[in-house]
Chain A
Amino acid sequence: MGSAILAIFGSSVILANGFKQGVFMDLLAILRIAIRALTRNKMRSLLTMLGIIIGVGAVIATVGVGQGAQQQVQDQIASMGTNLLYVSAGSVNKGGIRLGGGATKTLVDDDMKAILQEVPTISEAAPGAGASAQVVADNQNWYTRVTGTEPQYFDIRNWNFAQGTNFTQDDVTRATNVVVLGATVQQNLFGNANPVGQTVRIGTLPFQVVGVLVPKGQSGLGQDQDDGVYVPISTLQKKITGQDWLQYIMASATSQPASYAAQGQITSLLRDRHRIRSGQDDDFTVRNLADVAQLADQSSKVMTLLLASIAGVSLIVGGIGIMNIMLVSVTERTREIGIRIAIGATESDVLRQFLSESVVLSLAGGVAGIVFGVASAITITRVFGWNILISPTAVAAAVVFSMAVGIFFGFYPARKAALLDPIEALRFE
């Protein structure tokens, strides 16, 4: 740590008349003197350090919270599926009246087949349409989302089965009454019992449970992804909703760069198929989840930065506290400084002495602040259940920054001490 400071003052000078000086006093002696001077006013040193402790602690805790949130967002986005493109039915404009998203009936199963055939970078695709319905099992019932899709849907979303199996393509072809339950639905209808093979009613129709999904938790938008049931798309369309259009198509690209190319290709393909003339709005939306991920990532980064800079302000206030107390200390010890100069301390000796005091103050405060920050981060995790991520980089930055605060705010008082006139200083009462 001291090497930078020493590089400034450590120049060795041999005078013409043979007086040698410059090879700096040993670091341990300087440190010992600084620590002793600080422990002389324990309360004062502690209060001064408190500014730095709170500052560093706040930075560590907020950055921890911010990075934890960032990690969580990334995990959630990853949980939605990899390299995912989400094609949803769009809004429609009829004579100036615009209807909301999902209002169009133009997105159909053939669109999905065309995408799979004509966009080479799309490896898999699954349709999606849904309705909400009351699901009943024995004396339990639960109002939930019913999604119609095809078996590969779970593969695209990296979603595994906790119990039972997926429904099959054959089930889709024959529009059988089979259902896959989300974990939340399973909990509410069956508790801990195994529902596979049991029968549930969706609306009035009986369905056989074939599988239960692994819990996925909340989505990036705060939705419970486990609150839903899945049936073959054909079953939904023919027996539940009676509608033959889709609400969305989920497609998986072979890689993330490919997903961007695929996005454009899908757009032009669908415009073609839906006979949309140039100049007209799309009647669908293609969203790349990589964009969503990036956006979420960026917003949490900005949030972290904002929090950290607010906390950083308190660190600067702490630094001003150090400067203040060092100025008081220099005035109080004017006589001591005079004695030291008379005995042969050079300007840089005195400068170094006071600078090391402020650095010891801020560094000790920094270390205590890290402990305080980590402790409060752990408390936050316990109390609020937030994810906290304390990176070694943040800790190292806190140490370096608190030392820099000590040097920056300690320099002016130390220089003031070094430039004292010894004659005046010795007369000081």
Chain B
Amino acid sequence: MATLAQVEINLQELEQSATPEGAVPVIQVENVHKFYDLGETKVHALRGVDLKIEPGEFVAIMGSSGSGKSTFMNMLGCLDKPSSGRYLLEGADVSQLEKKDLAAVRNGKLGFVFQGFNLLSRTTALENVELPTLYARMEKAARLARAREVLEMVGLGDRTDHFPSQLSGGQQQRVAIARALANRPSILLADEPTGNLDSRTSVEIMQIFQELNDRGLTIVLVTHEPDVAQFAKRIVVFRDGKIRHDDPVRKRPRAADVLATLPAVDE
């Protein structure tokens, strides 16, 4: 397993991808509603959500299941459209785009990290990371260079030819993070990224997030673990389809410091 010393973040690359655009928020959600029509019953999953996320923020979204946080994340991820209201991504209204155009937004502006890693099995780490650049129609040489570069960023430069089954959970999640960064997105969306990981590995992943955020990358993280949420700069709590709390985190712990206090894993 890679030690944390190997986790080196490429400064310049990230600063390029997260150039602050003055007063334009990365995400601006205005009075968003979402209904699901399940035949007889109508589910009102989001009941008027307003949220603004500025460049460089690190937001944790919390809430019990059924609170609407998953629906909200799917909408932020352009996998779903709001029933009403507006969703501005870097000032552009993406709430009513066509499917094809949403695919382009997901590909170019958003990076996804999932709870279950969701890597393609029997496909090497490098090829997994290359995937978004393939859909971005990049040249082959550029694709490979980019994939190697982001794998270096998450400390897996020496595991490019490994298959997911040959990697630990933490390493798999780091490959997934590299994949999310491959097209230099404006925002990283992570849906319970530590849900399948032990507590030490969870902190390691949060350390990567914190370092990426330090370099200017905007991150939105969904979690139900308060410990994990503490590493963010701001916590938004959903309940019954609405935002109930929206508070900055005071005395935010550094993942690196926390890691030092944890007992070493016996190899």
Contacts and interface: CB of A to CB of B under 8 A. Distances in A.
Contacts of B7: none
Interface string B112-155: 10100010101100000001101111001000000000000000
B99 interface: yes
Interface in B74-123: 74, 77, 79-80, 92, 99-101, 103-109, 112, 114, 118, 120, 122-123
Given A335-B118, A339-B120, A346 B92 contact: no
A20 B140 CA distance: 18
Contacts of B99: 346-347
Interface stretch (A24-32, A46-54, A257-265, A363-371): A24-32
A342 B191 CA distance: 13
- The main secondary structure of chain B at its interface with chain A is helix
Interface stretch (A11-19, A228-236, A279-287): A11-19
A422 B131 contact: no
Contacts, number: 78
A24 B135 CA distance: 8
A265 B91 CA distance: 94
Contact of B135 (A335, A345, A426): A345
B92 A21 contact: no
Nearest to A349: B135
B134 to A, nearest CB: 6
A17 B102 CA distance: 12
B135 A343 contact: yes
Interface in A340-372: 340-349
Interface in A377-403: none
Contacts of B74: 423
Given A342-B79, A343-B135, A344-B136, A13 B118 contact: no
Interface string B231-262: 00000000000000000000000000000000
Q: Which of B104, B105, B114 is most buried by chain A, counting CB atoms within 10 A of its CB? A: B104
A345 B122 CA distance: 19
A22 B80 CA distance: 21
B184 interface: no
Interface in A234-251: none
B27 to A, nearest CB: 15
Given A15-B104, A17-B92, A336-B120, A343 B137 contact: no
A19 B108 CA distance: 8
A335 B134 CA distance: 19
Given A13-B100, A21-B100, A26-B140, A342 B77 contact: yes
A347 B108 CA distance: 16
A23 interface: yes
Nearest to A339: B118
A346 B79 contact: no
B179 interface: yes
Nearest to B115: A426
A346 B100 contact: yes
A13 B109 CA distance: 17
Given A19-B105, A423-B79, A426-B118, A344 B140 contact: no
B104 A343 contact: no
A23 B137 contact: yes
Contacts of A422: 79
A336 B140 CA distance: 22
Given A335-B118, A423-B74, A426-B118, A19 B101 contact: yes
A106 to B, nearest CB: 86
B156 to A, nearest CB: 18
Given A24-B137, A25-B135, A25-B137, A346 B104 contact: yes
Interface of A: 13, 15, 17, 19-26, 29, 36, 40, 335-336, 338-349, 422-423, 426
18 contacts: A15-B101, A21-B107, A24-B137, A26-B140, A338-B118, A339-B120, A340-B131, A340-B135, A341-B103, A341-B106, A342-B118, A344-B107, A344-B136, A345-B107, A346-B100, A346-B104, A347-B100, A347-B103
Given A24-B137, A29-B140, 9 more contacts: A13-B100, A19-B101, A19-B108, A22-B137, A335-B118, A339-B118, A343-B106, A343-B112, A343-B179
